[in-house]
Structure 1
């Protein structure tokens, strides 16, 4: 194993990201659409898609989105999505590196807090988030607006 590095995702990472997401959602992603989205996101300062790499291989990812807020001091908050680490690298600190990268991004953008949702049957994910300082603060709700293909 090489030294694990974390950096911002690039178009060249799309194939590696797609492979990670197969483990995450159980099916392949649309590579053309993903390339398009990575291109857009890479120019939006409110997004940070982090990739963890073992050499040139993408082994993990997470995405942070800075969201404007109108409450209190009106500082933004950050939404975290698509936190995935390749099964063979889980438990080796990769997830912590990814989340720390996003938290640094959130602090740089003066976010008041980080918000994320994890699937209802992902006990190991809950333990991971709790181990890095996250708590179940409130009840979360999610409503799907588009049918998954």
Structure 2
């Protein structure tokens, strides 16, 4: 993946990121690529928080992938720090190219660099292909997750 650069996301990347978030059946129901205002507000919060790492994968000058890595210190597991990978998206033209693996490997390496002892991620129960992908990369299905919508 020598022609791919992974770098922190910039405000100018938001339209491309949101388009990738919306480019699947689940995302199409919950994302609004025609109204970037809420994403701009969220981006400002992420940019101000050193525990948040929103990155993009770029080929040339085109954003072709993204993910968010959150580093969380904690008391459990003997005071372990963990990271959470979220919002992994690959542009439809790049799926199957190895870019997803490259992004996850970056996130795991960055988690190690941040002294994390555990890397977590969640995936919607309907994303069976994603589950197989994460298992191939060494992740294990270990917990049952719950959500409470507040809005």
TM-score if structure 2 supplies the norm length? Answer: 0.87
Give 1:82-97 correspondences, 5 Å limit.
Answer: 82-97=87-102
Match of 2:32 in 1: 28
Match of 1:16 in 2: 16
Distance in 1 (CA, whole Å) between partners of 2:128 and 2:140 is 13
CA RMSD of aligned residues (A): 1.7
Q: Is the partner of 2:144 in helix, strand or coil?
A: coil
Distance in 1 (CA, whole Å) between partners of 2:22 and 2:148 is 20
Match of 2:69 in 1: 64
Match of 1:145 in 2: 149
Q: Deviations over 1:75-94 (max 9, x none)?
A: 21111111111122111111
Distance in 1 (CA, whole Å) between partners of 2:109 and 2:58 is 18
Distance in 2 (CA, whole Å) between partners of 1:141 and 1:39 is 28
1:105 aligned to 2:110? yes
Kept in 2, the 8 Å contact 1:48–1:102? The answer is: no
Match of 2:49 in 1: 44
CA drift of 1:47 comes to: 0.7
CA drift of 1:49 comes to: 0.8
The number of residues matched between the two structures is 145
Provide structure 2 residue ranges, at least 5 long, that are not aligned to the other structure.
none
Q: Is the partner of 1:6 in helix, strand or coil?
A: strand
CA drift of 1:36 comes to: 2.2
Distance in 2 (CA, whole Å) between partners of 1:17 and 1:46 is 20
Q: Is the partner of 1:37 in helix, strand or coil?
A: helix
